[in-house]
Amino acid sequence: QMSDLFEKLRPRRSEKASAAQGNGPAGGPGAQDFVRTTRKYWVATEDVSSVKQAIAEHLPVFLMEREKRVNIVELGEEIVAAPKPGVAADSQMTSSVYLDNVNLGLYHNRLQKQPHSIAVRLRWYGLDPTGGVVFVERKTHRESWTGEESVKERFTLPPDLVVPFLQGQHTWDMEEARLIEAHARKAQKNAAPGSSPVQKGMSKAELAGIKKLFVEVQRAVESKQLEPALRTMYMRTAFQVPFDASVRCSLDTSLCMVAENPVNGPTCVAMNRWFRDPELPVHRTEVTRFPHAVLEIKLALDAGQDPPRWVDDLIASGCLTEVHKFSKFMHGCAVLFPDVAQEVPYWVDDVSLRQSLQNSASRETGAAVARANSKRVKNAPGPVSPNDAQSNGVHLRPNDDLNGDLTHPLLVGATSDTVLDLMGDSRQNADLGDGDDGNAVGSLGGGGRGGI
């Protein structure tokens, strides 16, 4: 691993100092006098290796199997599956099933920046959703201007209890009894031969925290009529110095989103499942493959402290394109559910996404029909079929072909003044910038943009 070589070259950090650092960049576990920021960037496929190297020079890669039992501060990625026993991999398959209702209520609340809007998802690691524990997660979004931080909370369930939990049949009393029994078994297993197990168990505070989240999520599922809606899948590489939360990075590659319920098939609820039946075929309109990697940089710095120089250099290199508030969940809903999404995030107009959107267009829908059904086209005549398009007087643009072009509804309403080129703009800005000390800003490793 290249990361191991860079780790040997870095100055050694004492374990005592690292452990004392706790959750803050310059204090113990209770230190809160620091500023947290999270930014998301698109990374072109051809720049992924360069970005990985640039980060690995300063932060070690979190190796999945080797670090399986190591507690990384706030990484929040408990490892429950690995590629092969004893094999360290620099990335891991991460899958999440997002819940929403038929009107995409959670999606619209988040897009409209409603106060305390939430996202609820079921996450697992590895290829098999039934091969380990399932993380039930709730993300509560808060705008930075309020002074509050967005929060991610989660608890675990065995895969076979997820559906009963969503249906309200697995109650908190049942879950509490299961947790107490599981801890008792763990204590028995870890006890030395011939000795009595130490009945330490979970503290009342731990149980109270889990109970609060368990009950609130279960109530939200019932009151908002949430059900499995969208899945995101990607390979995640995590970078972080153990026990140091000052700079953390995650790089997601091979990202795709899948509709959890087939258009012409039984839903997850109807089949008593919490994830899509893998035996059902996936139509092109039910999957979208995101063309870029997604880098997330999280900083937790003392007030007034600047980010490390290497972070600024990476951001200014031209390899990263910042996309404010980018969300995999919102992108997947906008692309795969265009007939339900009343509004869409701004980045869907980016020119680099056009082919991926086109790939999710229906084979049965020509450009004219897609244009007629699009909510982004003013005075559209309403839903029409290919056979009715001409008779309804649908206006054909010069390049429209009723039985030819496959135009996604998000594309047909776009005009020249709504097209974005976020990546092109960021690269142009990097090429025009001047670095300090005579170094070109638009470079990584001194070899030009994306150079090694």
- The residues annotated as belonging to the active site are 328
Cβ-based burial of 404 (10 A; exposed 0-12, middle 13-18, buried ≥19): exposed
C-alpha 127, offset from chain centre = 17
CB-based contact 408:370 (threshold 8 Å):
yes
| Residue at token pair 């972080």 | 240
Q: How far is CA 141 from CA 112, 115, 242, 325, in A?
A: 11, 7, 27, 11
C-alpha 40, offset from chain centre = 10
**For residues 448 and 452, what is the distance between their CA atoms, to the nearest angstrom?**
8
Compute, in degrees rounded to 10, the torsion defined by CA atoms 413, 419, 422, 426: 180
